[in-house]
Amino acid sequence: MTSYNKYVSFKNRMIIIGFGSIGEGFLPLLLRHIDLQPQQITIITADGRGADEAKEYGVEFIVVPVTQENYRDVLEHRLSKGDVIINVSVEVSTIALIELCQEKGAFYIDTMIEIWPGNFSSLPVAERTAYTLRKDALDYLRPKYPKGTTALLTHGANPGLVNHFFKQALLNVARDTGLKSAMPKTREEWAKLSEKLGIKVIHVAERDSQVSPQQKQLGEFVNTWSIDGFFDESFQQPAELGWGTHEKQLPADGFHHKSGSRAAIYIDRPGSETLVRSWTPLEGPYHGLLVSHYESISLPEYFSVYEGDKLRYRPTCHYAYHPCDAALLSIKELNASGNLQDKKRLIMDEITEGMDELGVLLLGNAKGCYWYGSRLTIAETRRLIPYNNATSLQVTASVLAGVIWVLENPNHGVVEADDADFERILEIASPYLGDMVGVWGDWTPLQSREPLPHEELDASDPWQFTNMLVA
């Protein structure tokens, strides 16, 4: 029988809100690596999915949708000092849960900043951006809870894990290019290292090649992770990206924000309709969806260098997502109709082959492009842990590492992935990430390419966003 490392001993209660693909995949990791009993865990979810798994592990399973009207009635009497809320739901407010946790002296972690449901799609486009949602949450929470119990926001695969990948990738590039540098200890030191290495652009470059023998049907949305979550960020929100200091020209339908750090721009169309050029070592060059994501804002904001009040350096950063082929077909159908399909199918057990190749692509260094990340196959996933596919395990391993870091660092207040110890996170998560590799390449977005009649390519600087944008 395999003996697994119990990273921390926990005597209080953990409450998991939501039990979709991430909740289901996280539970066996939680019980394997944190020293606690199943009776200390409560799952609160909107439907009966996952009830059999909860019963298998002996975990309390409560079916009740958590809403703005009932969340205190549902949670307050269950939550005490030292407990943990793990929010892996959709449309359950991050701000409301953190306020409750701070009142109770409890800990908190999520994978995305969530808000209560409402007329989100009718809001002005700038108010639907990840930039605005993140800014509103942090502007409210951080001044209110500067030293409270730790609440770790947006710590899934991306955002979350990829933020730690980037720090490790910077150290790898420094090593490979002969730049001698001490381990950075502050945000400013990390940002200056990125500047010294000449990093102009960061892609979160992901190719999901997992397949099911059951073909996608007309009127069906198929995906390897939350369909509702994917719909929100790819269709309800506009495409957006961190905007670097090297950029010369906004896209025609691109806009700056009017307040805050202004570390990002948005494009006035959905990410599901916006394609960018990118590269991973196994896939090679590909076209990815420019999907709205929090790391596209938090990374360039964190890695900014200032001279006094003047911004000197900031990298461009965006997601370049090629989902599994069935999901890509689903997106095409969704874009044509304008409505989310009635049938939704999350593929898990029926996957027969494929992997999720997820990493950060660093562009601008003179040596070439550098990709660092996880290559996790479905076969390796099934060997490692039940109730996961390759995509969900990259998320759930990061949630596990985040929970452990929160318990080891209990008094940090409201923080994001960039504030956590990247070495500790990767130490815990890496055994579940398949092959962790760093690969140099010579790809640029101008490679083997003649400009189309409507394009104005900038050959003097291949790393301009206008060269990345496909449509």
pLDDT per position as a tens digit, 152-166:
999 999 999 999 999
Cβ contact 423:165 at 8 Å:
no
pLDDT of 204-261, one tens digit each?
A: 999 999 999 999 999 999 999 999 999 999 999 999 999 999 999 999 999 999 999 9
pLDDT of 274-298, one tens digit each?
A: 999 999 999 999 999 999 999 999 9
130 and 177, same domain (yes or no): no
Q: Which helix (H) or strand (E) holds 278?
A: strand 275-280
How far apart CA 39 and CA 62 sit, in angstroms, is 13
176 and 294, same domain (yes or no): yes
145 and 259, same domain (yes or no): no
Q: How many domains does the chain have?
A: 2
> Does the pTM exceed 0.85?
yes
At residue 95 the predicted structure's pLDDT band, cuts being 50, 70 and 90, is very high
User: Which long-range contacts link 306-315 to residues 24+ away (Cβ below 8 Å)?
Assistant: 311/245, 312/195, 312/245, 313/191, 313/194, 313/195, 313/245, 314/242, 314/243, 314/244, 314/245, 314/263, 315/194, 315/199, 315/200, 315/201, 315/202, 315/242, 315/244, 315/364
Parallel, antiparallel or unpaired: strands 41-45 and 60-63: parallel
199 is a domain residue:
yes
Percent of the chain with pLDDT over 90: 94
- Is the pLDDT at 15 greater than 60? The verdict is yes
Residue with tokens 């196994």: 282
Q: Which residues constitute the domain of residue 12?
A: 8-152
How far apart CA 28 and CA 393 sit, in angstroms, is 11
Residues 6+ apart with CB under 8 A from 77: none
SS3 343: strand
Mean pLDDT for the stretch of residues 180-209 = 97
**Residue 1 has what pLDDT?**
57
Picking from 114, 131, 152, the residue at the C-terminal end of a domain is 152
**Residue 454 has what pLDDT?**
65
143 and 213, same domain (yes or no): no
Cβ contact 83:12 at 8 Å:
yes
Residue with tokens 């070495």: 423
User: The CATH number of the domain where 232 resides is what?
Assistant: 3.30.360.30
Percent of the chain with pLDDT over 70: 99
pLDDT of 32-87, one tens digit each?
A: 999 999 999 999 999 999 999 999 999 999 999 999 999 999 999 999 999 999 99
At residue 113 the predicted structure's pLDDT band, cuts being 50, 70 and 90, is very high
- Is the pLDDT at 267 greater than 60? The verdict is yes
Residues 6+ apart with CB under 8 A from 345: 214, 216, 220, 221, 222, 223
- Is the pLDDT at 450 greater than 90? The verdict is no
pLDDT of 219-228, one tens digit each?
A: 999 999 999 9
171 and 140, same domain (yes or no): no
Kindly tell me the burial class for residue 141, based on how many C-beta atoms sit within 10 Å of its own C-beta (0-12, 13-18, 19 or more): buried
348 is a domain residue:
yes
229 is a domain residue:
yes
213 is a domain residue:
yes
105 is a domain residue:
yes
- Is the pLDDT at 377 greater than 70? The verdict is yes
Picking from 152, 176, 194, the residue at the C-terminal end of a domain is 152
How far apart CA 132 and CA 140 sit, in angstroms, is 12
Distances (CA, A) of 339 to 221, 270, 290: 11, 13, 19
Cβ contact 239:270 at 8 Å:
yes
Mean pLDDT for the stretch of residues 98-126 = 95
CA 290, 90, 263: angle at the middle one, nearest 5?
A: 40
335 is a domain residue:
yes
User: The CATH number of the domain where 123 resides is what?
Assistant: 3.40.50.720
Picking from 109, 134, 152, the residue at the C-terminal end of a domain is 152
107 and 246, same domain (yes or no): no
Please provide the average confidence, as pLDDT, over all residues in the chain: 96
353 and 206, same domain (yes or no): yes
50 and 76, same domain (yes or no): yes
406 is a domain residue:
no
Looking at residue 353, its amino acid is E
171 and 109, same domain (yes or no): no
At residue 471 the predicted structure's pLDDT band, cuts being 50, 70 and 90, is confident
Mean pLDDT for the stretch of residues 310-322 = 98
Q: Which helix (H) or strand (E) holds 226?
A: none
67 and 32, same domain (yes or no): yes
Q: Report residue 428: phi and psi, to 5°.
A: -80, -40
407 is a domain residue:
no
- Is the pLDDT at 146 greater than 90? The verdict is no
Mean pLDDT for the stretch of residues 8-24 = 97
- Is the pLDDT at 342 greater than 80? The verdict is yes
How far apart CA 26 and CA 23 sit, in angstroms, is 5
147 and 199, same domain (yes or no): no
Mean pLDDT for the stretch of residues 417-442 = 98
130 and 207, same domain (yes or no): no
Mean pLDDT for the stretch of residues 390-400 = 98
